[in-house]
Amino acid sequence: MKILIRVSYLGTNYAGFQVQKNAVTVQEKLQDAVESLYGVRYPLTGCSRTDSGVHAKDFCCTIEAGADCERIPFEKIPDALNVRLPKDISVFEAFLMPDDFHPRYSVHFKEYEYLIYNSRKRSPFYEGRAFQYPTELDEFKMDRAADMFRGTHDFSAFMSSGSGVSDTVRTVKYCRATRNGREVRVTVAADGFLYNMVRIIVGTLIEVSAGKIQEQDIPVIIESKERGRSGFTAPPEGLYLNKVVYR
Amino acid sequence: MKILIRVSYLGTNYAGFQVQKNAVTVQEKLQDAVESLYGVRYPLTGCSRTDSGVHAKDFCCTIEAGADCERIPFEKIPDALNVRLPKDISVFEAFLMPDDFHPRYSVHFKEYEYLIYNSRKRSPFYEGRAFQYPTELDEFKMDRAADMFRGTHDFSAFMSSGSGVSDTVRTVKYCRATRNGREVRVTVAADGFLYNMVRIIVGTLIEVSAGKIQEQDIPVIIESKERGRSGFTAPPEGLYLNKVVYR
């Protein structure tokens, strides 16, 4: 039986989602809770790996559970897991999925949001939850540049090395920059993301605002496939996996 | 010389503002930073005591400094203190005030905001920063009731015991309840607040929404001066000192 659970978590205290040695991860905490609930350490598969310090508002993962798991009604699973989870991880929905569903391969698109706290002074309320950037950003310029990422492109220029993927073509559905007071948000949806892709897009948009990169050069940078031509990698604390849409 | 500093802090890890024995407070952290900066432990006076777990977006306090403090330009004080402060406390402005200014006695009014996360499921993003209340709130009913707190009244029915104040008359400038998605906010401004006054007002408004207290009974409850007739004391984590306005 495949149970899909929808989870939100604050990534600050975790070395990302995926289990790894010598580091505390969200997956490990979820597997501990699942084991404590069912008495069996059922396998758990996530919709993506998130990096250390990255947050998720609607992360999807499946529990590959045995038939006996039916003794707990699905609507009771979130509360039953939450009492077994630390307060920075929360399950808000659980339901049964067909056996051929896969939380990663069945993804239609994912939406990420990057939050910039655009203020000269740091704020305790944004600490670990946004990237504090002191210079006034031009969100209109950033938004015009952001829109140029839309479409199907080889995004090699927006990928950190070390992931080992061979197919670097992705389709960006939309990429927008908006402002609400001191909060500047970059929202990107795509059928898939390369390693650090959102964070490099955000770094590039910030450099567009600063005049270091010209907005009309975005297509040229994409075309070049050279990481050296795009902007810096914005830090993880501003990044949120917003939603996952399945086919 | 009196230097006014404007501070924001996340109250989660502190036993309130005011220094006390055997507990870590915001005032103590600020005094440590001031001492580290000037080499002297100058007295520090706050605009209010906040309770354990209560937050502040714009808390004002004065440093009663010696004349030698002029060697550090006022505009450099925030950054100089921030590098000496934990990340959940941040100074965002500093300037010189006349000697007769007092951060508490010179207050014209203060505004508090109370944040309710109105959701059946807990969220890691609101943990320690809002009161999670599971039942759907009627913010229109709450707002109509909130408006009845406006004016000059004896607020004894909205005061926890133990503060020892004798004058329990306060003037509420405004009191409103609003909703933005799952966030319900109660905003109250007054010339002064009794012990737990905002938290009891919020608890009362929640009971009005739940139908346990009738909205038209608010004036009767105020009139009664009986704590037993008002609602429960909402927990500290939803409370924010929003701003302090001086005469």
What local confidence, expressed as pLDDT, does residue B81 receive? 97
What local confidence, expressed as pLDDT, does residue A246 receive? 94
Which residue in the set B91, B124, B129 is minimally distant from A90, CB to CB? Answer: B124
User: Could you tell me the pTM of the whole model?
Assistant: 0.92
Q: Does A89 touch chain B (CB under 8 A)?
A: yes
Q: Number of residue pairs across A and B with CB atoms under 8 Å? A: 52
Other CB atoms within 10 Å distance of the CB of residue A212: 11
Predicted confidence band at B49 (pLDDT cuts at 50, 70, 90)?
Answer: confident
Q: Do B121 and A87 touch (CB under 8 A)?
A: no
Q: Do B127 and A10 touch (CB under 8 A)?
A: yes
Q: Does B13 touch chain A (CB under 8 A)?
A: no
What local confidence, expressed as pLDDT, does residue B152 receive? 98
For B88, nearest residue in chain A (alpha carbons): A124
Give the Cα separation of B159 and B205 in Å (integer): 15
Give the Cα separation of B247 and B245 in Å (integer): 7
Crossing angle between the packed helical segments B139-147 and B197-209, to the nearest 10 degrees: 130
What local confidence, expressed as pLDDT, does residue B69 receive? 81
What local confidence, expressed as pLDDT, does residue A163 receive? 78
Identified catalytic residue from B32, B51, B88, B147: B51
What local confidence, expressed as pLDDT, does residue A178 receive? 98
Measure in Å the smallest separation between the Cα of A48 and chain B Cα atoms: 19
Predicted confidence band at A166 (pLDDT cuts at 50, 70, 90)?
Answer: confident
Q: Does A90 touch chain B (CB under 8 A)?
A: yes
Q: Does B5 touch chain A (CB under 8 A)?
A: no
Q: Which residue has the tokens 């990698």?
A: A233
Mean pLDDT of B10-36: 95
What local confidence, expressed as pLDDT, does residue B84 receive? 97
Predicted confidence band at A111 (pLDDT cuts at 50, 70, 90)?
Answer: very high
Q: Tell me what the pLDDT averaged over chain A comes to.
A: 95
With CA atoms as reference, report the closest residue to B125 among A58, A155, A143: A58
Q: Tell me what the pLDDT averaged over chain B comes to.
A: 95
Mean pLDDT of A145-169: 94
Predicted confidence band at A214 (pLDDT cuts at 50, 70, 90)?
Answer: very high
pLDDT in tens, B119-170: 999 999 999 999 999 999 999 999 999 999 999 999 999 999 887 888 999 9
- pLDDT at position A85 over 90: yes
- pLDDT at position B247 over 90: no
With CA atoms as reference, report the closest residue to B92 among B105, B106, B75: B75
Give the Cα separation of A33 and A61 in Å (integer): 14
Helices (H), B12-125: 26-38, 77-82
Which residue in the set A82, A91, A122 is minimally distant from B82, CB to CB? Answer: A122
Give the Cα separation of A8 and A177 in Å (integer): 23
Q: In chain A, what residues touch B91 (CB-CB under 8 Å)?
A: 121
Predicted confidence band at B70 (pLDDT cuts at 50, 70, 90)?
Answer: confident
Predicted confidence band at A40 (pLDDT cuts at 50, 70, 90)?
Answer: very high
Annotated catalytic sites of A, by residue?
Answer: 51
Backbone angles phi, psi at A175, to 5 degrees: -150, 115
Mean pLDDT of A85-112: 95
For A83, nearest residue in chain B (alpha carbons): B122
pLDDT in tens, B222-232: 999 999 999 99
